[in-house]
Chains A and B, each alone.
Chain A
């Protein structure tokens, strides 16, 4: 029984506690982990979620690492599996394997300014890191969240963003690609917010999550602002399947994203990210 519980290829069953719409085609599922000792997770890690009879997909944690018994995933319905998962209501069952992968380097953030750059659904994998930073606020310098998304209607976690804005020492800036009245916030790409943010580049740790193109431009903009490549981390996504670096589906050059990532330091990624179709 113990061997079965710890085998990373054997899923366990979760029950959906609640389901909330967080944007067009985006839903957040809160699930109860029935395990006696939930495995816990690090901010930035992911689970393999199964919709019974449909399939399995990798989804990052979007909840609070301090509450391991409550598993939270924010999912966009784009394919058959993710769409099936977003249709699960309270009480429905799904299967989970994980947690897998590397997390955000939270210990490295201690005492430093932290800049989080999120694009679109990329805010979800960064939210656990932000929870952790805010829970231990005194342990860090300035905390900045720069978030870009498509339109005002597609802003994730809107109420939480409003509450984070009220915290001292925390700067939250949101920009959208295009907007119509009555939107009075920023419009433009998220990288345009970087020169406006206040941080000391020599003692800054940057965490970036979003579409790969956006992450590349954001990393370059942070570099132009003086942040070293060794202080910039990206969360990559490939076709993760096994979750433990055995099947090779998520190979990215010499890396397996499920095992060596998804969170990887930018100096290891700069060159591979320039290679087409890698």
Chain B
């Protein structure tokens, strides 16, 4: 566990995190790896964990009948995969596939939600780290939606 807490503390997502909180969150964390082509999470499945990427890239994909599979974002080391564990009904709304060998820290969502309920300071600290990521992704989605590179006379 000490090793995981140390790795957590060194991950950019937890930069400046209180060591006591890192220790707490470390109880919910474990190291994982995915070979290329394997899925970290799949649409519709229960959002039981999220991942902090340490190595390798991940594609976030949506699939639909007649449209095939579309990648709408790729993520790399230092970034996090999965936010649906934050809000009910705790189900993934897209797939996340390893594009290459991926090493990550997997954090048990129910465990972290429980600790955050028990200690609201920890919960608030976690929210302060998730919100910028959510805002950045919302802004990016808006730009993609605007289709700014399309032909506009």
Check: A120 CB closer than 8 A to any chain B CB: yes
A78 within 8 A of B: yes
> Is B144 located at the chain interface by the 8 A CB criterion?
yes
B136 CB contacts on chain A under 8 angstroms: 192
Cβ contacts under 8 Å, A213 to chain B: 143, 146, 148
Size of the chain A interface, CB-CB below 8 angstroms: 34
Q: Which residue of A lies closest to B150 (CB)?
A: A150
A189 touches B140 (CB 8 A): yes
- Within 8 Å of chain A (Cβ to Cβ): is B6? no
A187 within 8 A of B: yes
**Complex contact B71–A179 (CB within 8 A):** yes
Whether the pair B149, A25 counts as a contact (CB closer than 8 A) is: no
A20 within 8 A of B: no
CB distance from B138 to the nearest CB of A (A): 11
Contact (Cβ within 8 A) B151 A177: no
**CB–CB A186/B144 < 8 A:** no
- B17-25, B45-53, B72-80, B121-129: which lies at the interface: B72-80
CA A78 – CA B149 in complex, angstroms? Answer: 12
- Given A25-B151, A76-B151, A120-B149: A186 and B143 within 8 A (CB)? no
**Chain B residue with minimal CB distance to A196?**
B76
Closest to B146 in A: A213
Query: For window 86-103 of chain B, which residues contact chain A by CB distance below 8 Å?
Result: 99
In the complex, whether B68 has a CB less than 8 A from a CB of chain A is yes
Q: Does A183 contact B (CB under 8 A)?
A: yes
Interface flags for A155-178 (1: CB within 8 Å of B; 0: not) read 000000000000000000001011
Contact call A119/B68, Cβ cutoff below 8 A: no
* Cβ contacts under 8 Å, B150 to chain A: 150
- Distance between A79 CB and nearest chain B CB, rounded to angstroms: 5
Q: Does A184 contact B (CB under 8 A)?
A: yes
Measured CB to CB, the closest approach of chain A to B31, in angstroms, equals 23
> When the two chains form their complex, are residues A180 and B149 in contact, meaning their CB atoms are under 8 A apart?
no
CB distance from A175 to the nearest CB of B (A): 8
Within 8 A of A (CB), among B102-153: 136, 139-140, 143-144, 146-153
B59 within 8 A of A: yes
- Cα-based distance from A192 to B76 in the complex (angstroms): 11
Q: Chain B residues near A192: list those with CB within 8 A.
A: 136, 140
Of the residues B73, B99, B151, B152, contact of A188 by C-beta under 8 Å: B73
Is B69 in contact with chain A by the CB < 8 A criterion? yes
| C-alpha spacing A181/B95, complex, angstroms | 14
B152 to A, closest residue via Cβ:
A78
Q: Is B1 interfacial (CB-CB < 8 Å)?
A: no
Complex interface: chain A residues within 8 A of B69 (CB): 180-181
Interface centre among B60, B74, B76, B136 (most CB of A within 10 A): B74
Contact of A211 among B57, B60, B149 (CB under 8 A): B149
A179 to chain B: which residues have CB within 8 Å?
Answer: 70-71
* Cβ-closest chain A residue relative to B140: A189
Partner of B71, one of A79, A121, A178, A210: A178
Residues on A with C-beta less than 8 A from B57 are 186
Is there a chain B Cβ closer than 8 Å to A148's Cβ? yes
Which 9 pairs across A and B sit closest by C-beta, in order of nearness? A120-B149, A211-B148, A150-B149, A78-B153, A189-B140, A187-B74, A187-B71, A188-B73, A177-B144
Q: List 25 A-B contacts (CB under 8 A).
A: A78-B151, A79-B153, A119-B149, A150-B150, A177-B147, A177-B149, A178-B72, A179-B70, A179-B71, A180-B69, A180-B70, A180-B71, A186-B57, A186-B74, A187-B73, A187-B74, A189-B139, A189-B140, A191-B140, A196-B76, A211-B149, A213-B146, A213-B148, A214-B149, A217-B143
